[in-house]
Structure formats: C-alpha cells, structure tokens
Amino acid sequence: MEQEPKDITDRQIYETSIGPVCMSKTEYAMYQEEMAKKIGNLHIYVDADACPVIRIVEKIAEKYTIPVTLLCDTNHVLESDYSEVIVVEAGADAVDYKLISICHKGDIVVSQDYGVAAMTLGKGAYAIHQSGKWYTNDNIDRMLMERHLNKKARRASGKNHIKGPKKRTTEDDEHFSELFEMMIRMAIQNREGENNGKECLSTLIEFLKATSCTYY
C-alpha cells in the first residue's frame, strides 16, 4: 500500500544534532519532542560574566534542544532569545555559588573559573573552559595548584594587575565549538535511566529518516 505524500509546505532548514535538515515546523516539533526524551533533564549552565562563547553555546544547545541558563551579577546586562537569564546581587563569588547550587549530576557547566569547575566536578557534572579545555578529575588539582602558584608569584613581585587575555580569534571559537559539542554528545550518551545509552543519537537519526526530511 502506497503511503500518502507527506506535506512539503512551509519547510525550512533547521540545525539538528546530525547537521542541517530541511523539514516542516510540524516535523521539527516532533524532532524536539523526540530529542527531549533522549536528553532527559540535561541542562547547560554558563558562568556568563564576560563570557565570550555565550552565542556559540546557545547555537549548539538549540541543535540538541538542551535548555541553557546564563548566570551573571547586577554589574552585567544580559538578554537572550533562547536562554533563561538569572541575575544575582553583585558580591564575591555570588554567581559561582548560585550556579553550583542549581546544577546537578550530568549537567554541563561553562566557566573560566577553576574553583567553579572543581565544585562542578564534585557534583558529578561536566565542566568546560571557554577555550574548549575540558576540566576533569585528572587535571583539576594541577590547574588549581597552578592558579595558586601564579597568585603567590604575583604577590611576591608586587604585580597585582593581571594581563588580559589575548584577542579571541575565529579559530578559538571553532575549537571551543567542536569540543563543546563533543562534551554534549558524551553527556547525552552517559545519561542514566531508561533513555540512556549509545543508541540515543542513532535512534534520532532513524527518527529523522522516517520523516520526509532532506539532509544537507
């Protein structure tokens, strides 16, 4: 029995977990529902004060329909069409403590603060630097020690001013993007429960193939 032709009106290209796909709004809504089943309650939190990769994080997160929360203090103004924005009162480490209080095991945290990364790992979540470097239980102690020694050296030399980071390049953004997406895919595959497993992403591909989508 021949299948009825699928509606091909109102189509556009959407970014998905397997790349750009042309589909209708209805099909995209179905994809989002299917993806939500696979990722469970996975969430991305961004230590957003002076963070240069916010838009990259949002773009990639949207491909996987993962919710994002940006955290900043009252000294910064953030707006987003995709992410939730949480603003906390300015204060020493106020944003850091708020972020750690709401992230959970299996979530992803983007931060350039080694202390935040250490607490994130302690909760069983994933952490990545804006450079794309993954924080792990194998390297975090060394990184904290290096930070401590650098601070100690600055005090000894009387130089309290920290030289700012070098100008960010397109290559830096591409490097972060690649490693951040790798972390997302790993986090999805490592989700616990009935929706867990390496089959997660492959079943999404099967779902998309079952529709009238066009791949690019």
Position 160 confidence tier, pLDDT thresholds 50, 70, 90? low
pLDDT tens per residue across span 122-149 = 999 999 999 999 999 999 999 998 877 7
Q: Is the separation of the CB atoms in 108 and 46 below 8 Å?
A: no
- Tokens describing residue 212: 């009238």
CA gap 161, 45 in Å, rounded? 29
C-alpha–C-alpha distance, residues 73 and 35, integer Å: 32
**pLDDT given for residue 157 in this prediction:** 73
Taken in order 155, 156, 160, 163, the sign of the CA dihedral is negative
Residue 1 has pLDDT above 50, yes or no: no
Domain ranges of the chain: 8-40+196-216, 41-158+167-190
pLDDT bucket at 104, cuts 50 / 70 / 90: very high
E strand spans, the chain: 11-16, 19-24, 44-47, 68-73, 84-88, 108-110, 126-128, 134-135, 214-215
Residue 73 structure tokens = 């203090």
CB-based contact 109:115 (threshold 8 Å): no
Pick the CATH number of 41-158+167-190 from 3.40.1350, 3.30.1360, 3.40.50, 1.10.357: 3.40.50
Q: Which of 13, 18, 31, 29 is nearest to 201 (CA)?
A: 18
Tokens 């070098």 correspond to what residue?
166
Q: Cα(158)–Cα(54) distance, rounded to whole angstroms?
A: 34
* Chain center to CA of 157: 38
pTM: 0.79
For residues 211 and 28, the answer to whether their CB atoms sit within 8 Å is no
Q: At a CB cut-off of 8 Å and minimum separation 6, what does 37 contact?
A: 195
